Amino acid sequence: MSLFSAISKLITGMVGDQRENRPEDVRKVKSALDRLGYFDFRKEPEPHGYVTREMDSGIKRYQKERGLRVDGWLRPGGETESALKRDLKRNVSDDIQKEELLPPKIPGTNIPDEGVPEDYVRPDWDKNNRVYETDKEIEKMPPLFDFGIFEQYDREAEDNIEDIIKGTRRR
pLDDT, one tens digit per residue, over 17-72 is 888 889 999 989 998 999 899 998 787 676 778 888 999 999 999 999 999 999 99
| pLDDT at site 123 | 56
CA contacts within 13 A on the Cβ side of 32: 30
Residues 94 and 127 in one domain: no
Residues 89 and 137 in one domain: no
Residue 59 lies in a domain: yes
Q: What residues form DSSP beta bridges with 131?
A: 126
* Coil/strand/helix, residue 93: helix
Q: Which of 39, 64, 98 is the last residue of a domain?
A: 98
Rounded Cα–Cα distance for residues 64 and 30 (Å): 17
Give the structural domain span for 33: 3-98
Q: Backbone phi, then psi, for 115, in 5-degree steps?
A: 85, -170
Residues 94 and 136 in one domain: no
Please answer whether residues 51 and 16 qualify as being in contact, where contact means their C-beta atoms are separated by less than 8 angstroms: yes
Q: Which of 65, 98, 131 is the last residue of a domain?
A: 98
Mean pLDDT throughout 155-168?
Answer: 74
Residues 72 and 140 in one domain: no
Buried b (16+ CB within 10 A) or exposed e, 28-38: bbbbbbbbbeb
Number of structural domains, the chain? 2
Mean residue pLDDT across the chain: 77
Rounded Cα–Cα distance for residues 76 and 131 (Å): 63
156 compared with 12, residue with greater pLDDT: 12
147 compared with 39, residue with greater pLDDT: 39
Rounded Cα–Cα distance for residues 166 and 145 (Å): 35
Mean pLDDT throughout 70-95?
Answer: 86
Q: Alpha carbon 152 to chain centroid distance?
A: 59
Please answer whether residues 117 and 111 qualify as being in contact, where contact means their C-beta atoms are separated by less than 8 angstroms: no
Q: Is the pTM of this model over 0.85?
A: no
Residues 90 and 126 in one domain: no
> Which CATH number is 72's domain given?
1.10.101
